Amino acid sequence: MFFNLKNALQSVITASVIGTGFATATEAAELRQKSKRGHQIGIYSLTLGITKGGGGAADLAIFPANGGSNGQPNSGYCGPWNGGNQSVRFYVRNVGNANATASHVQVNFGGPYHGLVQVPALGPNQQILITEAIPIAAWGASQYHSSVDFLIAADHLDAMNEPNEGNNFGQSLCMGPAT
């Protein structure tokens, strides 16, 4: 039995374009006719369909939970002191215009001190507040206050294709009490 890959791909592309609302049935038929005449459909035609049809993509972004960014408790990413413990607090927000699938965020305090947090699926403009405890061993001494540097990475496992990967990261430091 002979399998015609070109025809199979044309059918899949046409069905996908119509099924996702990226193009009208008429536009899909035109694409199908062009491909039968030997024209290249290519990315350009599909991109036009996406733009015209209003398709979109999920885009996760990291935002600090508090105003300010001086590293003091309750500023920027730093949570309040709670009996000598502190946490990093931030929002993971879907700033895209399509649903984001469930994913992971990594909070890295350097070396072996990191945590992986599950993020549920988020619709457009939905967000979730994440709180991750700062490991006691991650705190480093400085001249006046103890401090900890950290990096937050949304979609850590790169499961989503996002239009802007640059907004997946946040980094800062939290200051502890005077030493």
pLDDT band at residue 55 under the 50/70/90 scheme? low
pLDDT band at residue 1 under the 50/70/90 scheme? very low
Please check whether residues 49 and 91 belong to one and the same domain. no
Number of domains forming the structure of the chain: 2
Q: Quick one: average pLDDT of 118-128?
A: 97
**Domain housing 125:** 60-178
Assign 141 to helix, strand or coil.
coil
Please check whether residues 65 and 134 belong to one and the same domain. yes
Mean pLDDT over all residues of the chain?
A: 75
Q: Quick one: average pLDDT of 32-48?
A: 36
Helix (H) or strand (E) holding 107: strand 103-108
Q: How far apart are CA 61 and CA 153, in angstroms?
A: 9
Please check whether residues 164 and 92 belong to one and the same domain. yes
pTM: 0.66
Q: Give residues with Cβ within 8 angstroms of 88, minimum separation 6.
A: 77, 78, 79, 107, 131, 132, 134, 150, 152, 174
For the chain, percent of residues with pLDDT exceeding 90: 46
Please check whether residues 46 and 109 belong to one and the same domain. no
Please check whether residues 96 and 113 belong to one and the same domain. yes
